[in-house]
Amino acid sequence: MELDKRIKSLSDILTCFDVERAKEFLGEKGYFAGGLYCFMNLQRSCLYGTLANVFDDPDDVFQRKEDSIYYPYFVPECLLKVKEKQYRPYTFMEFTDKFTVGQPIKFRQKGAEGYERYLILNGYQHEQHAGQTVTYIYIGSQGYTLDALFNDYEWQEHYTEDFKPFGVEEEKQ
């Protein structure tokens, strides 16, 4: 049997032998199941909810708050591997789909809170260097390559407070 890829170890699945350990997860979110085979796919085979109570009974150990039913197995969400977001720089076409000339862009150097710039995207320039096309994106009066924007800067989408990388999210394998 192969466990869901987010489960690091079989020991992260709590059973009737883990009653004392389970008490530290009261009030925590996680996945409940009636059998170990359910942990092959958390989304499809387990019930997500909050651990409300732990009972010392081999068949009915973990009470799920949402339905008050007891389950023999529970894996706390905090013990699961988090799928990491991985990004790559925009291609020129992806950048121009996201940003248009004349559009204001709020951006900053990565992690430089309080030093945001709100400038206009003025245009693009393609240059040939050693047989390679290098594209410069002009924001305000400064030209940036797509790699430089990705590596050194982050931007803020309208009506949000979060800054994002100048890139496309890819799922990490």
Q: pLDDT tens digits, the chain, 173 residues: what are they? A: 789 988 999 999 999 999 999 999 999 999 999 999 999 998 889 999 999 999 988 778 999 998 999 999 999 999 998 766 788 999 999 999 999 999 999 999 987 888 999 999 999 999 998 898 999 999 999 999 999 999 999 999 877 888 899 999 875 54
Reference 156, options 97, 115, 125; nearest CA is: 115
> Distance (Å, rounded) from C-alpha 44 to C-alpha 133?
47
Residue with tokens 């799922």: 171
Residue 134 near residue 155, CB atoms below 8 Å: no
Beta bridge partners of 70: 63
